[in-house]
A and B are shown apart, each in its own frame.
Chain A
Amino acid sequence: MSSSTAVRDLQKDLENKANDLGKIQKDIGKNHQLRKKYTIQLGENELVLKELDLLEEDANVYKLIGPVLVKQDLAEANANVRKRIEYISAELKRLDAILQDMEEKQNNKRETIMKLQQRLQSIQAGKAKA
């Protein structure tokens, strides 16, 4: 009797852990997508910066804000883009850290789940023998 309750507990535990693992994996997936987006943006910004650097001093630069093109100073635009790149890089770093953290968690969860499964199996095997 007691063993069966223990098994039930273990199974419940296992279920919970599996759910947690699933959640973490989902988060990791989201994080990956976000990261991808940021990487693409970073690439684009770098391209823009390169082009801005190539522009002559008196070139007209506009920024599309909503439906209107707003004329901007070249130096200003340049600074803006640089700032944006900085921001994105920082964001990427942050995401990387989070990702690492989550992967660690994921591995831990996986291990615990494996252990739980083993315990369950051993208990069930013991029961079968008995």
Chain B
Amino acid sequence: MEPPAKGTVTPLASLFSEEEARKAASYVEEKIGEKRVEMNRLQQFVDENDNLINLVKKLPDQLHHNVMVPFGKMAFFPGRLIHTNECLVLLGENYYTDRSSKQTVDFLKRRDKTLQSQIHSLKAEIEDFQTEASFFATTASEAAEGLVEIREEYVEEDSSAPVIQSSEREPSNISGGEAEEELEDDDFARIMSRLNELEMEEEQEGEDGGDRGEEHDSPIEILEESQHDLVKGIRGETDCGRIEYGKQETTISVPMKTSGHSSSIREPRVSEPRVKAKVIQVLPETHPHKDLDDPLNCIGPMSQYLPKGDQSRSATAQQNAGTWRDFQATAAISTAKAKTNVLGPQKIEKPEPEFDSTKAFTGSIVEHAHIQETSTHSHTQSSVSQPSKPVSRFKAQRR
């Protein structure tokens, strides 16, 4: 399904070695430490200044104060502070001036202000460094996890052709279903029971959308035989579902991983066509979020199960895209109103994944820019969280 030339998969680790990223992170951490020390020093100044202000405020309250006068380093002797309203204030740069207590307090307050502004700027700097450090740290961890960057050209022409294909197949599927009604019924029952199980699982686990895509994909490839495959697929799905789920949980980046290496993971369980489909599925999964802005892009992927979740989410935008999609959306999406016959819509949907896969747009999962870093995370996370949605859809369908 997916022409190999379509995109490139670059392991993030090849772009930045984990070590380098860690080094950078530690370097930045060091800098943060330095700044912290500086800030502590300033904070100390501020505290001292506050104390001094209090003292100078109190001094003129009495005509004289009895104090211990330091004499050299070691010795003190009793003395008395007179002229309590006169201070010799160091302005800086060895300039001194005579001031009254009140004036001194004013001066000290001005100094306090400058100190505060310095602390403020230091805080901002530290924050800056912290984001930098966290960026490096995440880059390092991502590189360590084997996160890959997937770039794929988005070819618009592909979308139209596949759509036609899918629509053509649709009828065929249905007709086939009629011919083999008995078979289908059997299959239906099995599938439905399987689906129920799946649903339960999903409810428990919350995320497992990827599997379903498989199920539907298989039919696409093997049109008529799809039912058998479907059943198989479903079984395979459950397994995959669990596995996938686990992966997703462990790391955000996992989805991408799966997309990259999914074949290896899934192959054993599922027949080949499905494997491919899965791979494709996963890709759209991750990408659509990036390109969510333009619904058209996303539509392709959405046809698949997971993607459907997208659709349901952003259904309004995507519905514009085309009647076919609309149909899909209504049928498969969580909006339960849609068609009740589960198989029909699902089958129909299956064809789409193909074109989706081909259609898939460029999505670089990993962005290296600072700010984007965080955003990517959110993207990936969202992709992870997606799978949970399909469940609801499914339920809706059945009802």
Contact = CB atoms under 8 A, between A and B. Distances in A.
Contact of A47 (B88, B91, B98, B99): B91
Interface in A51-69: 51-52, 55, 59-65, 69
Contacts of A50: 110
A45 B95 CA distance: 10
B91 A69 contact: no
Interface string B199-236: 00000000000000000000000000000000000000
B96 A62 contact: yes
Interface string A109-120: 000000000000
Interface residues of A, number: 21
B72 to A, nearest CB: 16
Given A47-B114, A51-B107, A63 B92 contact: no
A64 B96 contact: yes
Contacts of A69: 88, 96
Interface string B104-133: 000100110010000000000000000000
A44 B93 contact: yes
A47 B115 CA distance: 11
A102 interface: no
A105 interface: no
A21 B251 CA distance: 44
B93 A48 contact: yes
Interface string B63-103: 00000000000000000000000001001111111110000
Contacts of A63: 94-96
B291 to A, nearest CB: 39
Contact of A61 (B92, B96, B107, B114): B96
A81 B93 contact: yes
A77 interface: yes
A47 B97 contact: no
B138 to A, nearest CB: 29
A33 B98 CA distance: 34
Contacts of B111: 47
A68 to B, nearest CB: 11
A84 B96 CA distance: 16
Contacts, number: 50
Interface string A13-49: 0000000000000000000000000000100110110
Contacts of B88: 62, 69
Nearest to B94: A64
Contacts of A77: 95
Contacts of B94: 63-65
A81 B95 CA distance: 9
Contact of A52 (B95, B99, B110): B95
Contact of A84 (B93, B110, B114): B93
A55 to B, nearest CB: 6
Interface in A95-126: none
Contacts of B97: 51-52, 55, 59-62
A84 B97 CA distance: 18
Given A51-B107, A62-B88, A45 B93 contact: yes
Contacts of B114: 47
Nearest to A64: B94
Interface of B: 88, 91-99, 107, 110-111, 114
Interface of A: 41, 44-45, 47-48, 50-52, 55, 59-65, 69, 72, 77, 81, 84
Q: Closest 10 A-B residue pairs measured CB to CB?
A: A64-B94, A62-B96, A60-B98, A44-B92, A48-B92, A48-B91, A51-B91, A61-B97, A48-B93, A47-B92
